[in-house]
């Protein structure tokens, strides 16, 4: 069916068919990036036979599909080979830890290794003969113990450490630390690394350092901290909240000796309240890429299609475009994310359309070739006189509830209407808005909201428009470069191998 074909992605990773959820064990090995993922080889829905799908890439964009890496075939993972993480040892060997759901549906941690370490594609995996290596500790529910992180080395006692998320019987989300010398015997480190009442099960914990512009490996950060206090390095803790299915993070300080992680924003009882993403984005995981010295983030993007539609399509879900994550050094209070630089290699024709002014209350189309996949760089500048004149106080602007692209304010909304088609609906163009809204806070300062509006989205693949729905402000589009993207390449490459 041509329509269903059309809905396949251009650049986002998807298996050739069937269900996918969490990204697992991302790692760079002998020149290849590896992505494993929660996969149902039998159909387009999640089930109790989840395996680890596997793909490898040289550039994080063009993927080679590989055979299923691990299937639920042992008593300790017969109900699912669930999420886990890779650790690269100093000699280059890889250790994989994952959660098995046992024949009694108990969550246990299991160990696996590449069968042939000389194979850069890591096609075959061997499960450790004496799995499982960790059981739920006393006081922790049998079904509340999953998703081990990447381990890091701590030179103070020459152990590897990792964390696992859980919840307690007061519905508090919590993070436990384990240490091990050999990845076979583990010791629970006393105390909890973190705990937040009322947040439920914490899935897929991620814990990693951020500092300047380059990424930092966790082992490196722990070593630096014990030598010189660690400088300005902060540690991100992320949890995937099973209660509301969003990924939350906070910046904090990790103290290895005390086994504590303390959020910077200590007043927030929640402790972890920032979102990576306001769309569908869950069970994410980062890895340190030694080849480009960066930290890269993947997240599972579930689709909003019904289960019925997924079954009809024969597939469900994609992975986000991998993103480089850095600390926002300007604010020191949040992260910045950007698609990995490799995305730019997909740009073909580029058109420079900057240097225009969009008057208030106007919409106009950009003259582009018809293209289904675009990468748009844009900078907007409000007229300073309009900004100075804006008196209106921001009484709680909200991207979702303040009218989207049709709202009206003194300094917004303005921006782009993409996937827009004026012919389909007279007077009410189908479009997806990507826009800004600037408001003056009660303290007199300006706040910029960056939003998207899907309420009039459709499958239209026609035009891109500039719009400015502010009541009086003019907007200068100082830079506007539209890159057409080579969208055929990814899928063609995947199927040709
Ligand atoms: N998905 C896995 C679990 C994890 C959950 C099972 C998060 O390991 O907690 O498919 O989406």
**206-264: per-residue pLDDT in tens?**
999 998 889 999 999 999 998 887 777 999 999 999 999 999 999 999 999 999 999 99
CA dist., res. 411 & res. 468, Å (int): 9
Of 110-124, 224-238, 335-349, minimum mean pLDDT range: 224-238
End-to-end CA distance of the chain: 23
CA dist., res. 486 & res. 463, Å (int): 18
- Quick one: which of 243, 105, 55, 87 has its CA closest to 178? 87
What percentage of the chain has pLDDT greater than the value 70? 92
Enter the DSSP assignment of 17: S
Helix (H, G, I), strand (E, B) or coil at 146: strand
Range 190-217 average pLDDT: 94
Confidence band (pLDDT; 50, 70, 90) for 413? very high
Q: Indicate if the pLDDT at residue 495 is higher than 90.
A: no
pLDDT value, residue 480? 94
Q: Give the pairing type, strands 186-188 and 475-485.
A: unpaired
Q: Indicate if the pLDDT at residue 425 is higher than 60.
A: no
- Quick one: which of 267, 211, 263 has its CA closest to 239? 263
Q: Give the pairing type, strands 152-154 and 125-127.
A: unpaired
Phi, psi dihedrals of residue 307, rounded to the nearest 5°: -60, -35
- List residues with catalytic annotation: 22
CA of 99 to the centre of ligand 1 (A): 9
Q: Indicate if the pLDDT at residue 270 is higher than 80.
A: no
pLDDT value, residue 428? 72
Q: Going by CA atoms, what residue is nearest to atom 6 of ligand 1?
A: 82
Confidence band (pLDDT; 50, 70, 90) for 367? confident
Say if CB 484 and CB 372 are below 8 A apart: no
Q: Indicate if the pLDDT at residue 490 is higher than 70.
A: no
Q: Going by CA atoms, what residue is nearest to atom 10 of ligand 1?
A: 82
CA dist., res. 185 & res. 323, Å (int): 34
Enter the DSSP assignment of 134: B
CA dist., res. 183 & res. 372, Å (int): 48
Residues 6+ apart with CB under 8 A from 467: 358, 362, 363, 364, 405, 413, 414, 415, 416, 417, 433, 435
Confidence band (pLDDT; 50, 70, 90) for 1? very low
pTM: predicted TM-score of the whole model, two decimal places: 0.93
CA dist., res. 13 & res. 480, Å (int): 27
Q: Indicate if the pLDDT at residue 79 is higher than 80.
A: yes
Name the percent of the chain in helix, strand, coil, to the closest 5.
10, 45, 45
Nearest atom of ligand 1 to the alpha carbon of 282: 11
Complex ipTM, two decimals?
0.99
Residue given tokens 């909200």 in the structure block:
398
CA dist., res. 167 & res. 306, Å (int): 30
- Quick one: which of 497, 496, 484 has its CA closest to 346? 484
Q: Indicate if the pLDDT at residue 319 is higher than 80.
A: yes
CA dist., res. 82 & res. 203, Å (int): 11
Of 329-333, 429-433, 489-493, minimum mean pLDDT range: 489-493
- Which residue would you say has higher pLDDT here, 45 or 231? 45
Range 480-484 average pLDDT: 92
CA of 246 to the centre of ligand 1 (A): 13
User: Which residue ranges have their beta carbon within 6 Å of ligand 1?
Assistant: 21-22, 38, 50, 82-83, 99, 146-147, 203-204, 240, 283
pLDDT value, residue 371? 63
Q: Indicate if the pLDDT at residue 2 is higher than 60.
A: no
Of 99-108, 111-120, 403-412, minimum mean pLDDT range: 403-412
Of 5-14, 196-205, 236-245, minimum mean pLDDT range: 5-14
Query: Residue 414 class from Cβ within 10 Å (0-12 exposed, 13-18 middle, 19+ buried)?
Result: buried
Residues 6+ apart with CB under 8 A from 461: 370, 372, 419, 421
Range 392-412 average pLDDT: 86
C-alpha dihedral, 308 to 311 to 312 to 316, nearest 10° = 100
Nearest atom of ligand 1 to the alpha carbon of 22: 11
- Quick one: which of 185, 99, 104 has its CA closest to 145? 99
Helices (H) and strands (E) in the chain, counts: 5, 33
CA of 82 to the centre of ligand 1 (A): 6
Q: Count CA atoms closer than 13 A to 445's CA, side-chain side.
A: 3
CA of 355 to the centre of ligand 1 (A): 48
pLDDT value, residue 492? 43
Nearest atom of ligand 1 to the alpha carbon of 83: 8
Q: Mean of the per-residue pLDDT values for the chain?
A: 91
Confidence band (pLDDT; 50, 70, 90) for 48? confident
Query: Residue 118 class from Cβ within 10 Å (0-12 exposed, 13-18 middle, 19+ buried)?
Result: exposed
Residues 6+ apart with CB under 8 A from 439: 392, 393, 394, 397, 409, 411, 412, 446, 447, 449
- Tens digit of each residue's pLDDT (9 = 90 or more) over 22-42: 999 999 999 999 999 999 999
Q: Give the pairing type, strands 32-40 and 18-29.
A: antiparallel
Q: From 203, 243, 248, give the residue whose CB has the most ligand 1 atoms within 8 Å, as the site to mutate.
A: 203
CA distances for 430 relative to 2, 417, 463, angstroms: 21, 9, 10
């Amino acid at each position: 069916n041509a329509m269903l074909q059309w809905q396949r992605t251009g650049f986002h990773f998807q298996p050739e068919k069937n269900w996918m959820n969490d990204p697992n064990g991302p790692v760079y090995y002998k020149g290849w990036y590896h992505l494993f993922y929660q996969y149902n080889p039998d159909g387009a829905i999640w089930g109790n036979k989840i395996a680890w799908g596997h793909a490898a890439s040289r550039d994080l964009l063009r993927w080679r599909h590989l055979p299923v890496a691990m299937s639920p075939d042992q008593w300790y993972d017969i109900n699912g080979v669930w999420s886990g993480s890779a650790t690269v040892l100093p000699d280059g060997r890889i250790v994989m830890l994952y959660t098995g759901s046992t024949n009694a549906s108990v969550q246990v941690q299991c160990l696996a290794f590449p069968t042939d370490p000389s194979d850069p594609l890591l096609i075959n995996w061997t499960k450790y003969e004496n799995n499982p290596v960790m059981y739920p500790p006393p006081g922790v529910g049998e079904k509340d113990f999953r998703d081990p992180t990447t381990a890091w080395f701590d030179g103070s006692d020459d152990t590897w450490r990792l964390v696992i998320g859980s919840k307690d019987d007061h519905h508090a989300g919590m993070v436990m630390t384990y240490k091990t010398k050999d990845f076979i015997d583990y010791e629970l480190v006393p105390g909890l690394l973190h705990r937040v009442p009322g947040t439920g099960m914490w899935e897929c914990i991620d814990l990693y350092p951020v500092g300047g512009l380059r990424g930092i490996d966790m082992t490196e950060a722990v070593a630096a901290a014990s030598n010189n206090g660690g400088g300005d390095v902060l540690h991100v803790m992320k949890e995937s909240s099973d209660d509301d299915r969003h990924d939350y993070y906070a910046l904090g300080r990790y103290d290895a000796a005390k086994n504590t992680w303390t959020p910077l924003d200590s007043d927030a009882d929640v402790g972890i309240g920032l979102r990576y993403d306001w769309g569908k984005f869950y069970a994410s995981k980062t890895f340190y890429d030694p080849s480009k010295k960066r930290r890269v983030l993947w997240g599972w993007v579930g689709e909003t299609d019904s289960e019925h539609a997924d079954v009809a399509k024969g597939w469900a879900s994609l992975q986000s475009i991998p993103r480089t994550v850095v600390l926002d050094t300007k604010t020191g209070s949040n992260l910045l994310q950007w698609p990995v630089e490799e995305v730019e290699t997909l740009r073909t024709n580029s058109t420079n359309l900057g240097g225009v002014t969009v008057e208030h209350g106007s919409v106009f189309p950009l003259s582009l070739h018809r293209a289904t996949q675009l990468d748009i760089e844009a900078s907007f500048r409000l007229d300073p006189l309009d900004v100075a004149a804006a008196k209106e106080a921001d009484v709680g602007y909200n991207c979702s509830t303040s009218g989207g692209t049709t709202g009206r304010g003194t300094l917004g909304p303005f921006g782009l209407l993409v996937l827009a088609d004026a012919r389909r609906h007279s007077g009410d163009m189908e479009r997806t808005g990507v826009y800004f809204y600037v408001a003056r806070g009660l303290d007199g300062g300006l706040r910029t909201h960056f939003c998207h509006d899907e309420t009039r989205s459709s499958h239209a693949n026609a035009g891109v428009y500039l719009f400015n729905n502010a009541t009086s402000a003019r907007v200068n589009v100082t830079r506007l470069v539209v890159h057409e993207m080579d969208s055929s390449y990814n899928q063609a490459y995947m199927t040709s191998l």
